[in-house]
Amino acid sequence: MGYLYAACVLLVFALTVAALRVLIPKLRSMKMGQKILDIGPRWHKSKEGTPTMGGVAFAVPVTVVTALALAISTAVGIDIPIAPVLLTLLLAAGNGAIGVIDDLTKFKKKQNEGLTAPQKYALQLAMAGAFLALLRLYGTPDTTVAIPFTDIQLELGWFYYVFALIFITGIINSVNLTDGIDGLASSVTLVVAVFLSVLGFTYAKYDAALLGGVTIGATIGFLMYNFYPARVFMGDTGSLFLGGIVAGAAFVIDSPLCIALAGIVYICEAMSDIIQVGVYKLTHKRVFKMAPIHHHFEKCGWSEKKIVFAFSAVTLLASVIAYFGY
């Protein structure tokens, strides 16, 4: 498994870099650049026109290489559960497709707003529902949730599916919100992918290890062009795809709460946005200088690099805690 894992990491990395070398000039020539909202930090205006939808460059290699790895593992007798991996790919690809529609709608409208929130969430719910239905059919019908640091398996019954729908769509949109400054979503997700890989090899959950490995290759390859100053953005195409991988992996390792802990930065990004909007509607006052919270730190004078390193360090610490709590 070790050789196959290493080959997958390297192959996805190489294909992502190669794809970006072709894709970035193509996106520039098609004028498919990022629109910057006036309400954002004023210095972000310099990013206007940076090619977006770059997530295609890693979404396709991840999908192809993972499918190829499953075929090879079956041929040589490596025990990688196929159904959970394929269903996670389906969840990621489906949400990536939603991202493509959203990004293309933005270009068509020539603004930073694509699909409406209800439209996007309805599509995400449909994808999450399909994922859970197929997981029950081909994976496990288990309706318990493991509580980290304990041996408790909380039986939720039918409410498990309500919880799972909220969890999947919540994680996916949280990853999307994290993609607000150069290299942030890629870096945080890279750390989460390392967590998945280590956990997978420790407990012989090779499906988790494989998903972690291809995501490591994708995020490192993308960071070559996305770290500050970014030459390309992943767009909703990329962030929703990565969100699908992270959300699906939670059910591969049978521990959504451990993924929530390892991905605490995602949760904080989403909660800061919810708190900001909720408090402002009630009091007309802001809790943060700007939300999501990475923009708050920008407004406090932190550089983009400092935020990326700090948030990645928090993710690393949270991943270590999640590992021991698994």
Digit-coded pLDDT (tens) for 170-199: 999 999 999 999 999 999 999 999 999 999
Q: Judge contact between 287 and 296, C-beta under 8 A.
A: no
Whether the CA torsion 59, 61, 64, 67 is positive or negative: it is negative
Residues sharing a CB contact under 8 Å with residue 21, sequence separation 6 or more, in sequence order: none
Whether 211 maps to a domain, the answer reads yes
Identify the H or E element spanning 60: helix 56-76
Q: Would 42 be classed as within a structural domain?
A: yes
Residue 4 pLDDT exceeds 70: yes
**CB-based burial of residue 150 (10 Å sphere; 0-12 exposed, 13-18 middle, 19+ buried)?**
exposed
In a domain, 295, yes or no: no
User: Does 141 fall in a domain?
Assistant: yes
pLDDT per position as a tens digit, 126-164: 999 999 999 988 867 689 999 999 999 999 999 999 999
Structure confidence by residue, pLDDT tens digits, 79-134: 899 999 999 999 999 999 999 999 998 887 766 677 888 999 999 999 999 999 99
- What value, to the nearest 5°, has the Cα angle with vertex 123 and ends 157 and 279? 80
Within a domain: residue 65?
Answer: yes
In a domain, 265, yes or no: no
What is the mean pLDDT of the segment spanning 256-273?
Answer: 97
Give 221-269 as a DSSP string: HHHHHHSSSPS---HHHHHHHHHHHHHHHHHHTT-HHHHHHHTHHHHHH
| Residues facing residue 33 across a β-bridge | 51
Q: CA 197 → CA 51, 184, 204, 269, distances in Å?
A: 31, 20, 10, 24
Confirm whether 51 is domain-assigned. yes
234 Rama sector, left if φ>0, alpha if ψ -120 to 50, beta otherwise: alpha
The Cα–Cα gap between 112 and 105 comes to: 9
User: Quick count: other Cβ atoms within 10 Å of Cβ 216?
Assistant: 23
Contact 203, 229 (CB under 8 A): no
Q: Which amino acid is at 167?
A: F
Domain that holds residue 92: 2-255
Q: How many domains does the chain have?
A: 1
* Confidence at residue 77, expressed as pLDDT on a 0 to 100 scale: 87
**Dihedral (CA of 310, 244, 229, 65) sign:** positive
Residue 169 lies in a domain: yes
Residue 250: CB atoms within 10 Å: 23
Average pLDDT of 257-261? 97
46 band by pLDDT with thresholds 50, 70 and 90: low
170, 295 contact by CB (below 8 A)? no
d(CA 100, CA 87): 20
Gap between the terminal Cα atoms of the chain: 22
pLDDT (average), residues 301-309: 95
